[in-house]
Amino acid sequence: MHNAHPYTFDIPETGIPTSYDNHIVRRLSAMKGQYRDTDAFNALLEQDDRILYEVYEFRRPEVSSELLHGVSIIHPGRVGDEYFMTKGHFHAVLETGEVYYCLRGRGMMVMETPEGDWSVKEFRPGGVLYVPPRWAHRSVNTSPTEDLVLFFVYPGHAGHDYRTIEQQGFRKLVVDRDGKPEVIDNPRWKQAESR
């Protein structure tokens, strides 16, 4: 853990920051139930429990005065016609937002609120995305070959609610149609029983 002194770091081409405290690796097996093509999911899992994405974090105290930050790298690939993507979550403290800055690659952020609003925004290098309070968010890598590299910043006390998305999914999916990303309704979306 860093002390309270200012610090700097760089994010090179690879996306792996020159210093960090924690490296999280998320594999295909962590995404059970999230891809709509379960046959494709199971076939891929049988071959290899692939790494879908990685997160490099700076550990800071989880209090509202802090800004948690780091880099997520979503690798290219697909499960059926759906791209590799993050699990996605609401913040446990719903009234907290997040800023994303895209350094490399192509992708989409799929978002929705408990009230039923949804939004899908594009990521391209140099682009900034603001995720307001209340919006669940999932990053999707739509490039067939390149990593999607995202820098993120959010309030220290936000916390994560993964369960709601695990239960209900996102209202929208991003799928590959003839080499191009397309946003479609999630046929299996259902309201989670309790939040």
Chain residues in the site for ligand F6R (CB under 6 A): 26, 55, 72, 86-89, 98, 137, 139, 152, 154, 158
Distance in angstroms (rounded) separating the CA atoms of residues 33 and 168: 10
Tell me how far apart the terminal alpha carbons of the chain are, to the nearest angstrom.
Answer: 32
* Least distance CB 13 / ligand F6R (angstroms): 19
87 C-beta neighbours (distance < 10 Å), count: 16
- How far is the CA of 184 from the CAs of 33, 50, 142, 171, 192, in angstroms? 18, 25, 14, 9, 20
* Least distance CB 88 / ligand F6R (angstroms): 5
- How far is the CA of 144 from the CAs of 80, 105, 121, 134, in angstroms? 13, 10, 18, 31
* Least distance CB 88 / Zn ion (angstroms): 9
CB-nearest residue to Zn ion = 98
Residue with smaller CB distance to Zn ion, 98 or 147: 98
* Least distance CB 24 / ligand F6R (angstroms): 8
Residue with smaller CB distance to Zn ion, 75 or 87: 87
Residues that bind Zn ion (CB under 5 A): 98
Return the residue matching tokens 């990593």. Answer: 147
* Least distance CB 175 / ligand F6R (angstroms): 19
Of all helices (H) and strands (E), which one includes residue 108?
Answer: strand 107-112
* Least distance CB 109 / ligand F6R (angstroms): 10
Residue with smaller CB distance to ligand F6R, 139 or 142: 139
CB 110 within 8 A of CB 174: yes
Distance in angstroms (rounded) separating the CA atoms of residues 51 and 68: 23
Residue with smaller CB distance to ligand F6R, 43 or 90: 90
Q: Which does 55 bind (CB under 5 to 8 A by kind): ligand F6R, Zn ion, none?
A: ligand F6R
Residue with smaller CB distance to ligand F6R, 26 or 134: 26
Residue 53, strand partner residues: 26, 74
Q: Which does 151 bind (CB under 5 to 8 A by kind): ligand F6R, Zn ion, none?
A: none
Residue with smaller CB distance to ligand F6R, 78 or 89: 89
Of all helices (H) and strands (E), which one includes residue 38?
Answer: helix 38-47
Return the residue matching tokens 């609120």. Answer: 113
